[in-house]
Amino acid sequence: MPQTNFLHSHAALQTRAQGIKAVLFDWDGVFNDGWKGLDGGSPFSEVGSMGVNMLRFGLWLRNGVNPPAAVLTGQVNPLAEKFVQRERFHAIYMGYINKPDAFAEFLRTNSLKPGEVAFFYDDAIDLPVARQCGLRILIGRRGGERFEEHVVQRGDADIVTACSGGENGLREATEAVISLLGNFADVFDHRAAYSETYQRYLRERNATVPVVRNGSRA
């Protein structure tokens, strides 16, 4: 079975991961395989959703605060917005063809430095943001091997998944980052037990009121 491709030493990636305070996700090709419905929507997997929640919990355990989380997509996607509302992300930025505009707002709103953000992405439109982030996770896919080679050669990714978005590559990616945080067992054991620690995190997470920003693809 193909394995996750870690592009730096374990120690170097640990250092990057342990400096992360926020998470940012592209949508199409990350939460799904990229296919769209007639209404412009594209779905997500509960497997990936759990991975994202566990990553946010892992960062909460490490840093002691609810990590800012957002979706940044070039499309206006009602299903992505519903997911953000359900999972109590801090924001969704939709319709942004020039993604650095939204990224700058995300940093400013949350008092973040670019190096404190982990970015999960899959395609060319995401590269201007990926190049700024502290941890860059490319969701791989068959049919995109030349793009993957280009990204790796340019140094625009730190981790590349073996699975695509439609094959639960997001879960693979989030588990890889949790492992680098060094608290993988604690994260999943607390969730399995529905411990008071996990419930405290969940209360803090669920108190977040998501912000919806629409760039209208301008």
Q: What is the pLDDT of residues 12-45, one digit of tens each?
A: 999 999 999 999 999 999 998 877 765 666 788 8
The one-letter amino acid code at 104 reads A
Q: Tell me what the pLDDT averaged over the chain comes to.
A: 94
Q: Is 25 buried (19+), middle (13-18) or exposed (0-12) by CB count in 10 A? A: buried
Distance between CA 158 and CA 146 in Å, rounded? 17
Per-residue confidence (pLDDT) for residue 37, from 0 to 100: 65
Domain 5-207 belongs to what topology?
Rossmann fold (3.40.50)
What torsion do the CA atoms of 53, 163, 78, 108 make, to the nearest 10 degrees?
60
pLDDT tens digits, 53-105: 999 999 999 999 999 999 999 988 889 999 999 999 999 999 998 999 999 99
Query: What's the Rg (C-alpha) of the chain?
Result: 16
Domain-wise residue ranges, the chain: 5-207
The pLDDT-based confidence of 145 (bands split at 50, 70, 90) is confident
pTM of the entire structure?
0.94
